[in-house]
Amino acid sequence: MESKSNILMGRYELGRLLGQGTFGKVYYARSAITNQGVAIKMMDKDKVIKTGLADRIKCEISIMKLARHPNIIQLFEVMATKSKIYFVMEYAKGGELFNKLTKGKLKEAVAHRYFKQLINAVDYCHSRGVYHRDIKPENILLDENGNLKVSDFGLSALAEAKQQDGLLHTPCGTPAYVAPEVIKRKGYDGAKTDIWSCGIVLFVLLAGYLPFYDSNLIHMYRKISKAELKCPNWFPPEVCRLLSDILDPNPETRISIAKVKESYWFKNGPKAKNKTPVEENNTVSSSGTIISDQSDGVEANEEPVVPVSINAFDIISLSAGFDLSRFFDDKFQKREARFSSKLPASVIISKLEDIAKQLSLKIKKKAAGLLRLEDLNEGRKGVLSIDAEIFEVTPFFHMVEVKKSNGDTLEFQKILKEDIRPALQDIVWVWQSDQQLQSQQSEQQLQIHDQQQQQQQPQS
């Protein structure tokens, strides 16, 4: 029988540690509801707030919600406790592409497949106004079928981040993969810099080493600025031509993604004799996604997938009316409550109207998806008013926010706990506050899990 000590928020059974960084750790986990394997990125909320990265976290959530593509790691949901933020993401069983490169260069057919999937993913991001800005093999994962998955949007920018000159100005990225214009600390086009990084990745895949690397950072920057490309003798001529167009130090004349996709090597790939056993046993779709013969032969779907469990954080990304900062402050949670329901909006509204009658509350205001309920008697701080607003995620999945709009907070808490919640029991799927009640226990469970993981690691 599985130990309950490793169940996070009552929903995910924690497994091994996959990696860790400055702000947190990434664990393998399994959904207690669907048995699906996921990766959970856990960040320390205090570190995020103290370093001023709360806006960056909000941006990353928004970007990952926009970027729904078979070759991009999917964000399923975001949860939080008093001290932690949890990103529940798609688990890529194949690990980092970088790990494959530690064994040397890849065969041309494999490199072509990965490059094609990378370009398709980046092109999709750009079409949504998203610029990754840190494309490198360490941020590219592989699933169990060998399909590429772009990850780590922590340095990504949205089109709105452009300044008046229409360019981005924040210098970021990994030195060996960064474009010359970023090094010069001038304004840059996010799409053009991403294309450059994709070119560096392609070179590394085929060569097994970086094109402009130098242990002296200043010397490396000089090489990047000049971009004097020397292709190894085993590179096909068409690859050298493509790389020359991509690794153009002048962003104005650098090739666009549209032109990359029209290039001979991108469209046709290597000759048949160079195909790998992986490709012979699998079909590659027009998008570059593998359809394994061992699967049901269905191509990856580019349409957004509704997460198994949708919470308030998902709605933040879908509705401008929500603000992530609320979830860093406990005072909001005393005046608000949220629940999700699998029933249509009409059923939810009807139920709320019935509750208003049972509690002798006046329906003061009724608009599309909004009910305002008022107590007929004046309380300690005036008339208690409660707003219930319904947000549609799908026609049969809704998030309902119940909040105090006037009156005493304690009176609101009392009527919510004793009357409203019990009366809503038959239409509620899950209350957000129920998840938060588990937070302290989850924090303790995480500490115990970490200790167990450390004890199991061999002594160096």
Q: Is the pLDDT of residue 431 over 70?
A: yes
**232 lies in the same domain as 195:** yes
**188 lies in the same domain as 204:** yes
Q: Which residue has the higher pLDDT, 456 or 150?
A: 150
Looking at residue 262, its pLDDT comes to 96
Does residue 445 lie in a domain region?
no
Q: What are phi and psi of 381, to 5 degrees?
A: -125, 45
Does residue 71 lie in a domain region?
yes
Q: Is the pLDDT of residue 428 over 50?
A: yes
For residue 49, name the pLDDT band (cuts at 50, 70, 90): confident
**86 lies in the same domain as 174:** no
Per the structure, the count of domains in the chain is 3
Q: Is the pLDDT of residue 36 over 50?
A: yes
**241 lies in the same domain as 261:** yes
Does residue 208 lie in a domain region?
yes
Average pLDDT across the chain, whole number:
75
For residue 184, name the pLDDT band (cuts at 50, 70, 90): confident
The CATH number that applies at residue 406 is: 3.30.310.80
Record the tokens describing residue 301, joined without a space: 């779907």
Looking at residue 204, its pLDDT comes to 94
Q: Is the pLDDT of residue 40 over 70?
A: yes
**56 lies in the same domain as 168:** no
Q: Residues with Cβ < 8 Å from 69, sequence gap 6 or more?
A: 120, 121, 124, 125, 302
Does residue 26 lie in a domain region?
yes
For residue 391, name the pLDDT band (cuts at 50, 70, 90): confident
Q: Is the pLDDT of residue 423 over 90?
A: yes
**87 lies in the same domain as 99:** no
Say if residue 204 is exposed, middle or buried (CB neighbours under 10 Å; 0-12, 13-18, 19+). buried
Q: What range does the domain containing 44 cover? A: 4-91
**248 lies in the same domain as 339:** no
Does residue 70 lie in a domain region?
yes
Does residue 194 lie in a domain region?
yes
The CATH number that applies at residue 267 is: 1.10.510.10
Q: Average pLDDT for residues 214-234, to the nearest whole number?
A: 86
For residue 446, name the pLDDT band (cuts at 50, 70, 90): low
Report the candidate in 279, 292, 238 with the shortest Cα–Cα distance to residue 109.
279
Looking at residue 441, its pLDDT comes to 56
Looking at residue 168, its pLDDT comes to 38
**111 lies in the same domain as 259:** yes
**9 lies in the same domain as 31:** yes
For residue 232, name the pLDDT band (cuts at 50, 70, 90): very high
Looking at residue 23, its pLDDT comes to 65
Does residue 292 lie in a domain region?
no
Looking at residue 73, its pLDDT comes to 86
**26 lies in the same domain as 102:** no
Separation between Cα atoms, residue 45 and residue 450, nearest integer Å? 18
Q: Average pLDDT for residues 331-349, to the nearest whole number?
A: 79
Q: Which residue has the higher pLDDT, 343 or 205?
A: 205
Task: Name the domain boundary from 91, 126, 149.
Answer: 91
Looking at residue 238, its pLDDT comes to 95
Q: Which range (79-83, 295-299, 423-427) has the least confidence?
A: 295-299
Q: Which residues are tagged catalytic?
A: 134
Q: What percent of the chain has pLDDT over 70?
A: 68
**138 lies in the same domain as 200:** yes
Are 196 and 243 a contacting pair, CB within 8 Å?
A: no
Are 294 and 309 a contacting pair, CB within 8 Å?
A: no
Q: Which residue has the higher pLDDT, 375 or 396?
A: 375
pLDDT (tens digit per residue) in 96-134: 888 888 888 999 999 999 999 999 999 988 888 888 778
Does residue 395 lie in a domain region?
yes
Q: Which residue has the higher pLDDT, 276 or 376?
A: 376
CA atoms within 13 A on the CB side of 298: 4
For residue 55, name the pLDDT band (cuts at 50, 70, 90): low
For residue 181, name the pLDDT band (cuts at 50, 70, 90): confident
**258 lies in the same domain as 121:** yes
Edge-to-edge strand order for the sheet containing 430-431? 361-367, 370-379, 382-394, 397-406, 336-341, 430-431
Looking at residue 142, its pLDDT comes to 92
Separation between Cα atoms, residue 284 and residue 294, nearest integer Å? 14
Task: Name the domain boundary from 261, 283, 305.
Answer: 283
Q: Is the pLDDT of residue 139 over 50?
A: yes
Separation between Cα atoms, residue 202 and residue 242, nearest integer Å? 10
pLDDT (tens digit per residue) in 200-210: 999 999 999 99
Task: Name the domain boundary from 225, 252, 283.
Answer: 283
The CATH number that applies at residue 46 is: 3.30.200.20
pLDDT (tens digit per residue) in 268-297: 998 744 444 444 344 333 334 433 333 322
